[in-house]
């Protein structure tokens, strides 16, 4: 292949990627405002600024488009950095982890995607399972591995670290996540998140920390 052909293919690839991004951005707005059932391919095409014909070139139907958005959301959440280095002490690590986790879960605008996935999970269980596995289960597993390291270091006494990781994450959500996801309260402030996570950390340590002497 000559250099000119490679350049042409590269430009086509960039244009293709840009058009797909344009469609996904438009579709996301429609799904977030109208939900899965209320969204139509025509409305999505208008929001994205493309023809319905172009829309169908990239996505076979509304379900495929929604799945692509969910997968993208999961990938984005998967990039959130948690410092779970095995040698770090539990109090500091749990506090930092909890604050980062809740800030990710309750970020402004983030509740819409979670609500939409929850609403469609019964009808499209594969979508719900993939979202859970790539976002929540992945984080639980990473935290559990850290807890296992602190058990070996004799800082914590835990029989089931996977269960304990889930417990801690739910403690951090207390009074924050449900009001947020059901739109009964705005995204919590950093100060409120810190207050709840500090309480969760105290409760977790009281249950699992190895007592001196």
Cα–Cα distance for residue pair 26/22, rounded to 1 Å: 6
Query: Residue 93 is part of a domain; what is its CATH number?
Result: 1.10.357.10
Number of domains in the chain: 2
Report the largest interatomic distance among the alpha carbons of the chain, rounded to a whole angstrom.
75
Residue-level pLDDT at 12 = 45
The 10 Å Cβ neighbour count of residue 74 is: 19
Cα–Cα distance for residue pair 126/133, rounded to 1 Å: 10
Q: What is the pLDDT confidence band of residue 78, given thresholds at 50, 70 and 90?
A: low
Asked whether 193 and 99 are in contact (CB, 8 A), the reply is: yes
In a domain, 66, yes or no: no
pTM over 0.85? The answer is no
Q: What share of the chain in percent tops pLDDT 70?
A: 91
Asked whether 188 and 162 are in contact (CB, 8 A), the reply is: no
- Structure tokens that stand for 119 in this block: 């609403």
Cα–Cα distance for residue pair 147/151, rounded to 1 Å: 6
Asked whether 164 and 158 are in contact (CB, 8 A), the reply is: yes
> Do residues 136 and 40 both lie within one domain?
no
Enumerate the β-bridge partners of residue 156. 209
> Do residues 80 and 168 both lie within one domain?
yes
Query: Residue 39 is part of a domain; what is its CATH number?
Result: 1.10.10.60
In a domain, 28, yes or no: yes
Cα–Cα distance for residue pair 156/112, rounded to 1 Å: 37
Does 4 have pLDDT greater than 60?
A: no
Enumerate the β-bridge partners of residue 209. 156
In terms of residue numbers, what domain contains 113? 74-208
> Do residues 80 and 52 both lie within one domain?
no
- Count of all residues that appear for the chain in the document: 213
Does 9 have pLDDT greater than 50?
A: no
Interval 170-201: pLDDT, tens: 999 999 999 999 999 999 999 999 999 999 99
Interval 89-113: pLDDT, tens: 999 999 999 999 999 899 887 777 7
Task: Compute the mean pLDDT over every residue in the chain, rounded to the nearest whole number.
Answer: 87
Beta strands in the chain (DSSP E): none
Cα–Cα distance for residue pair 39/17, rounded to 1 Å: 23
């Amino acid at each position: 292949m000559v250099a000119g052909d490679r350049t042409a293919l590269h430009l086509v690839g960039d244009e293709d990627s840009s058009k797909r991004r344009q469609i996904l951005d438009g579709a996301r707005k429609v799904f977030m405002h109208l939900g899965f059932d209320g969204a139509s391919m025509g409305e999505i095409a208008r929001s994205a600024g493309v023809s319905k014909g172009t829309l169908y070139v990239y996505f076979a139907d509304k379900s495929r488009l929604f799945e692509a958005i969910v997968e993208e959301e999961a990938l984005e959440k998967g990039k959130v950095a948690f410092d779970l280095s095995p040698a770090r002490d539990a109090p500091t690590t749990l506090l930092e982890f909890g604050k980062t986790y809740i800030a990710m879960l309750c970020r402004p605008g983030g509740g819409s995607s979670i609500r939409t996935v929850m609403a469609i999970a019964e009808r499209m269980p594969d979508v719900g399972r993939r979202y859970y596995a790539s976002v929540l289960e992945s984080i639980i597993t990473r935290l559990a591995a850290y807890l296992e390291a602190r058990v070996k270091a004799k800082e914590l006494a835990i029989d089931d670290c996977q269960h304990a990781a889930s417990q801690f994450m739910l403690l951090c959500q207390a009074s924050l996540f449900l009001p947020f996801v059901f739109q009964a309260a705005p995204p919590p402030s950093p100060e409120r998140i810190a207050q709840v996570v500090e309480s969760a950390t105290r409760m977790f340590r009281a249950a699992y920390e190895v007592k001196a002497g």
